[in-house]
Amino acid sequence: MKGVLSVYKYFDYIKIIGVWISGISLIGMMLFIVYDVFLRNIVENSINGGFEIVQNYFMPIVVFPSLAYVYSSGVLPKMDMLIERFKNKTKMFIIIGMVLIEIFVLILMTQFSLEYALNGLEREIAFPAAGTLYPLYPIFFFVPIAFGLIIVENIFILIRNLIEKQPSFLFKGEDKK
Amino acid sequence: MSSFVVIVIILTMLVLFLVSGLYIHSVLFASGVIGLILLEGFSILPGLLGNEPFNRVAGYTLTTIPLFVLMAQFILQSDIVKDIFYIVNRASRGKNSVLGILTLMIGGVLGAVSGSGTATAASLGQVAIPELRRHGYSAPLSGAIAAAGGSLSGIIPPSIILILYGVATETPVGQLFIGAIIPGILVMIVFILVMLVYFKVDKNEVEIDDEVASTEEQSDYKVSVLRLSAAGTVSLLIMLIIFGGIYSGIFTPTEAGAVGAFAGLLAALVLGKINSTFIKKSVVETIKLTGMVMLIMIGAQIFGRFVSLSLLPRKIIALLEPIMDTPALVLVIISAILFIMFMFIEGAAVILMSIPVLLPIITELQVDLLWFGVFVGIICTIGLITPPVGLSVYAVAGVSKIRLEPIFRIGMVFAVAVLVVVCGLMISFPEIATFLPDSMDS
Amino acid sequence: SDSEETVTDQDGDGEDGDGEAVEVIELRAATGLSSQHAWWSDNMVPWMDRVEELTDGQVQFETFSGGELVAVPDEADAVLNGTIDVGLILPIYQPDQYPMAEVTMLPLAHSDAHIGSNAWQALLTSDVELEDGKTYSEMQFDQFKVFPISTTQEYSISTTGKEFDSASDVEGTSLRTPSRIHEMYSETIGVNSVTMPAVEMFDALSRGSFDGSYYSIADWSGYGFEELFKYTVTDINFGHFNAFIGTTQEKWDEFPENVQEAMTQANEEIFSPGAQEWIDRSEEAIAQNKEDGGQFVEFTSLDQEVQDLFNEGIEKTWLDYAEILEEQGLPGNELIVLWRDIIIEQGGDVPDSLKNIE
Ligand code: NA
Ligand code: NA
């Protein structure tokens, strides 16, 4: 487990970088919209293409880069009334089963969103705003990267449950409520 | 495979996944993807799933979710709301029930500046739950109050749900907003009444704890008059900026999210609260909550694609044909079906998948589209606090670490009360929703 | 999604012969627009109904509207990747993929829903070779089998009260711009452009966030604008939004001949009534708007200075649009000449200065 832990540490760094990117985008989005409102009211001219830029650039960058961090933070909801009643051994089997389903779905999502991004790259998909075309396809790549990182997280969770005695949906174990 | 068999398989699978403790977003992802494979084969997946995550997230109105949460974070980290609760507590000396009423009313007021029930519930959860707990409310009841108070944003205008409905049915959004005012207030009143009953029952059980908590609170939380008046002024100013800004046309309800967050940041600056921990904590909490909501929305969307393709809603509604000459009965049945759909599926997804099916029926029944929009909006709003998919409750549980199930148990009672009382009143007296917009017309 | 059910060719006029079973062709059709939108309710739905009727149920449609299955503007992609069989396609929303589709949005001196629609149809079926021996449709929509449907009614400028009494009134007016062409046009006449989702507009406009919008009157009711706008300039035209019903060329080739004929015939039958619907809707909106105190001002009654400003803007926008296309290596100059000729041929008009371009 020690070796796994030290590898996971590096993975944590990657997730933190994602949080930084999302966080900067969040603050940026706030300032951008405020500035747009300010311009429209003072100069009577908004940032050209402002809302398209917010929805196509800021929003996805607020959400996707930090998704793996969000996943491992334990904030994601689930119904746990039944599983809590099982013994550790049964619990472990259920958790491993669920993690495998999770990985299966995530692989599909990663693959399809990657295909979509590559297709977008090929067609140079762009969005029109204020008479100009802004490239959109680079943002598409955040999606498969986000899902891919969550697969890695799940592989760590799988390994953890095979090694540790106390089964858990999270790599670092769950908070006691 | 016949779509009926697929529907049965997938719904069974969904329940199994849910009770096995799979994450909610994964339950929706997995059931949706497997359902699509059974229904259409593997080849339909790439075209349907590849663009979904991006498209779902890249929406301008959705910026209200992170930005109103960020505003709440800034305000919370500056202890402003805490101080307000302190003032209110002093004012309502000994009458702890007032605090619950006040929380729900603050939920209503926040609803008037927020379009999303989830965002408000999360903010309210962070601010109000610790205070409610200190004043003798049980953990589940505090959670339910915050979740219900937050859910009010779903119906009290501005409302993302009403915007979605307006777009889907081409009903003027402004009129929908006006029509939702009275029913929205009714929902709040029902929440308050049910809460009072719960509080009375709870109080008899935890009398002693209550007194200990109160004394403790009195001794360790003291605030200077200067600080209180600063906090009071700042919070009033923020309210004024948001309300004044929206209603004078300086910014739209969506933009109010950004302006509100910015005002919160300035307030924290004035109160001398800003440091790196303040920023870091506010931003990370916001990102966590936003990520959670978006992940579920993406899952719901994919599950919704399956539901659409299986024609499930149409099959249910085809069964209604024989009773079309009794509109009230059809409406009762429709509200029951919607209530159940909103229990299991994220609100916007339900609206998007059911409106194309419901609309012909509503038109045939000669029911007013505006009225129906408000009606659906209310059922959607209470869907935010019903199990197993209740985003308001998830948001509250996420920020407060209170367990989901007990909150849901109370949330369900809140929801059923609203369904019976408010929806019942609306069917009996449609003017509740149409009176205000009609009087504006002339 | 072709199913294995069968029906009989009951009136016995089909090639499949009397009483013989023919395979049912089940097609999935979708739009991201609401089910009330005239392009769906008064163009695509009647088309599908008529096709079902003409083929005696051999073709059946399973329909999805309001973004239930596919959102605007993903219909084209959904048709191409097989998610749906038939889609209501709005190419103007994807200028990165269909840069020449916006040509119908170019401002004109005169036209109406019928002229715009007929011109759009003529453009799609035009055999004029624009580049490398390719026609307009071959250059833009070669992957699709295109069934042209009506364009919208012409776009107008409406404000919540601001009037254009002199050229200086136009300068600095802020209008919402729904397309790239309108952005370009606004810039040339000194109008500030506001970009905002249509659903946010009612709120922002009713609270005075900006002055007005380019919009088609027939579309007002969708967002309640007939109560909001107080001043509309008529008889000048800010383009027609276009659309078509599309399936893939591949799928089209697989349809039996009688089905192809039915689809073509149905398309011809619904085309004009579809355009008329916009005019009816706009008349209704105008009546309602007048009742609510809105005024309609003829372009030719405006101050000459204002007229000149607007007209010069029209010319410059045409040339700018052609230049953008040329920069992308597309035949922009040929395209605007073709469009001008078609517009005039169909009974519309352009400012005089554009009549000389070649
Ligand atoms: Na609200
Ligand atoms: Na629910």
- The last residue of one of the domains, among B33, B50, B67, is B50
The pLDDT of C135-139, averaged and rounded, is 96
Q: Compute the distance between CA of residue C107 and CA of residue C99 in angstroms, rounded to an integer.
A: 17
Task: Read off the tokens for B440.
Answer: 């504006």
Question: Which of B19, B50, B289 lies nearest to residue A112, judging by beta carbons?
Answer: B50
Give residue-wise pLDDT tens across range C298-311: 999 999 999 999 99
Query: Which pLDDT band holds residue C319 (cuts at 50, 70, 90)?
Result: very high
Is B305 within the bounds of a domain? no
Query: Which pLDDT band holds residue B18 (cuts at 50, 70, 90)?
Result: confident
Using DSSP, state whether B378 is helix, strand or coil. Answer: helix
Q: Beta-carbon neighbour count of residue B347 at 10 Å?
A: 30
Is B21 within the bounds of a domain? yes
% chain C with pLDDT above 70? 91
- Radius of gyration over every alpha carbon of chain A, rounded to an integer in angstroms: 20
**Which segment of A99-103, B219-223, B230-234, C176-180 scores lowest on mean pLDDT?**
B219-223
Query: Which pLDDT band holds residue B208 (cuts at 50, 70, 90)?
Result: very low
Using DSSP, state whether A78 is helix, strand or coil. Answer: strand
Instruction: Count residue pairs from B and C with Cβ separation < 8 A.
Output: 93
The continuous run of DSSP H or E covering C298 comes out as strand C295-298
Residues B117 and B152 sit within 8 Å (Cβ to Cβ)? yes
Residue of C nearest to B309 (CA): C69
pLDDT of residue B442: 39
The pLDDT of A98-124, averaged and rounded, is 94
ipTM of the complex: 0.85
Q: Is the peptide bond before C73 cis (omega within 30 degrees of 0)?
A: yes
pLDDT of residue B212: 42
Based on the fold, state whether residues B327 and B291 are members of the same structural domain.
yes
Based on the fold, state whether residues B39 and B66 are members of the same structural domain.
no
Is it the case that residue B218 has pLDDT exceeding 50?
no
Length of chain A: 177
Query: Which pLDDT band holds residue C17 (cuts at 50, 70, 90)?
Result: very low
Is B302 within the bounds of a domain? no
Is B128 within the bounds of a domain? yes
Give residue-wise pLDDT tens across range C140-185: 999 999 999 999 999 999 999 899 999 899 988 889 888 889 988 9
The pLDDT of B250-274, averaged and rounded, is 86
Q: Beta-carbon neighbour count of residue A150 at 10 Å?
A: 22
Query: Which pLDDT band holds residue B186 (cuts at 50, 70, 90)?
Result: very high
Give residue-wise pLDDT tens across range B194-205: 999 998 887 766
Is it the case that residue B153 has pLDDT exceeding 50?
yes
% chain C with pLDDT above 90? 65
B139 touches A: beta carbon within 8 Å: no
The pLDDT of B259-267, averaged and rounded, is 90
B54: closest CA among A119, A128, C243?
A119
Pick from B319-328, B389-398, C106-115 the range whose average pLDDT is largest: C106-115
Is it the case that residue C224 has pLDDT exceeding 80?
no
Task: Read off the tokens for B384.
Answer: 């935010």
State the residue for tokens 């000994």.
Answer: B94
Based on the fold, state whether residues B45 and B122 are members of the same structural domain.
no
The pLDDT of B412-428, averaged and rounded, is 95
For residue B253, list chain C residues with Cβ-Cβ distance below 8 A: 203
Q: List the Cα angle B43/B47/B50 in 5-degree steps.
A: 115
pLDDT of residue C20: 57
The continuous run of DSSP H or E covering C62 comes out as strand C59-64
Instruction: Give chains near C: 3+ CB pairs under 8 A.
Output: A, B
Question: Which of C1, C197, C224 lies nearest to residue B175, judging by beta carbons?
Answer: C224
Based on the fold, state whether residues B63 and B39 are members of the same structural domain.
no
Q: Compute the distance between CA of residue C195 and CA of residue A46 in angstroms, rounded to an integer.
A: 8
Residues B379 and B441 sit within 8 Å (Cβ to Cβ)? no
Is it the case that residue B155 has pLDDT exceeding 50?
yes
Is B273 within the bounds of a domain? yes
Q: Compute the distance between CA of residue B392 and CA of residue B116 in angstroms, rounded to an integer.
A: 10
Instruction: Give the type of residue at C176.
Output: R
Residues C242 and C179 sit within 8 Å (Cβ to Cβ)? no
Task: For residue C353, report the phi and psi dihedrals to the nearest 5 degrees.
Answer: -60, -30
The pLDDT of C60-80, averaged and rounded, is 90
Residue-range definition of the domain harbouring residue B40: 1-50
Q: Kindly give the pairing relationship between strand C25-30 and strand C21-23.
A: unpaired
Is it the case that residue C235 has pLDDT exceeding 90?
no
Please report which residue ranges of C142-256 form alpha helices under DSSP H.
167-170, 180-189, 198-206, 249-254
- Chain mean position to CA C159: 22
Query: Which pLDDT band holds residue B303 (cuts at 50, 70, 90)?
Result: confident
Q: Do B23 and A34 touch (CB under 8 A)?
A: no
Based on the fold, state whether residues B35 and B172 are members of the same structural domain.
no
C187 touches A: beta carbon within 8 Å: yes
Q: A20: Cβ–Cβ under 8 A, 6 or more apart, which residues?
A: none
pLDDT of residue B178: 81
Residues A134 and A65 sit within 8 Å (Cβ to Cβ)? no
Q: How many CA atoms lie within 13 A of C209 on its CB side?
A: 30
Is it the case that residue B115 has pLDDT exceeding 80?
no
Please report which residue ranges of A43-135 form alpha helices under DSSP H.
50-53, 59-63, 67-72, 88-123
Based on the fold, state whether residues B18 and B39 are members of the same structural domain.
yes
Q: Do B251 and C209 touch (CB under 8 A)?
A: yes
Residue of C nearest to A122 (CA): C97
Give residue-wise pLDDT tens across range B89-100: 676 666 778 888
Q: Compute the distance between CA of residue B230 and CA of residue B270 in angstroms, rounded to an integer.
A: 9
Query: Which pLDDT band holds residue B214 (cuts at 50, 70, 90)?
Result: very low
Based on the fold, state whether residues B21 and B140 are members of the same structural domain.
no
DSSP annotation of C7 reads: E
Query: Which pLDDT band holds residue B325 (cuts at 50, 70, 90)?
Result: confident
Task: For residue C168, report the phi and psi dihedrals to the nearest 5 degrees.
Answer: -70, -20
The residue among A15, A59, A90 with the most chain B CBs within 10 A of its CB, best to mutate, is: A59
Residues A151 and A72 sit within 8 Å (Cβ to Cβ)? no
CB neighbour class for C232 (10 Å; exposed up to 12, middle 13-18, buried from 19): buried
Q: Do B63 and A58 touch (CB under 8 A)?
A: yes
Is B301 within the bounds of a domain? no
Task: Report B:8-67 residues touching C (Cβ under 8 A).
Answer: 40, 43-44, 46-48, 51, 55, 60-61
Length of chain C: 358
Pick from B69-83, B394-408, C222-236 the range whose average pLDDT is largest: B394-408
Based on the fold, state whether residues B247 and B373 are members of the same structural domain.
yes
Based on the fold, state whether residues B162 and B252 are members of the same structural domain.
yes
How many structural domains are present in chain B?
Answer: 2
Based on the fold, state whether residues B98 and B12 are members of the same structural domain.
no
Q: Do B50 and A116 touch (CB under 8 A)?
A: yes
Query: Which pLDDT band holds residue A135 (cuts at 50, 70, 90)?
Result: very high
Q: Do B30 and A83 touch (CB under 8 A)?
A: no
**Which segment of B9-23, B186-200, C234-248, C342-356 scores lowest on mean pLDDT?**
B9-23
State the residue for tokens 């009129």.
Answer: B175
Q: How many CA atoms lie within 13 A of B168 on its CB side?
A: 32
Q: B273: Cβ–Cβ under 8 A, 6 or more apart, which residues?
A: B77, B78, B79
Based on the fold, state whether residues B429 and B411 are members of the same structural domain.
yes
Using DSSP, state whether A44 is helix, strand or coil. Answer: coil
Instruction: Give chains near B: 3+ CB pairs under 8 A.
Output: A, C
Based on the fold, state whether residues B30 and B71 are members of the same structural domain.
no
pTM: 0.81
| Dihedral Cα B364, B369, B374, B376, nearest 10 deg | 40
Task: Report C:188-217 residues touching A (Cβ under 8 A).
Answer: 192-197, 209-210
Residues B231 and B85 sit within 8 Å (Cβ to Cβ)? no
Is the alpha carbon torsion for B145, B147, B150, B155 positive or negative?
negative
Q: Compute the distance between CA of residue C139 and CA of residue C119 in angstroms, rounded to an integer.
A: 18
DSSP strands (E only) in B138-283 = none
B141: closest CA among B423, B420, B417, B400?
B400
| Higher per-residue pLDDT: B14 or A177 | B14
C284 touches B: beta carbon within 8 Å: no
Length of chain B: 442
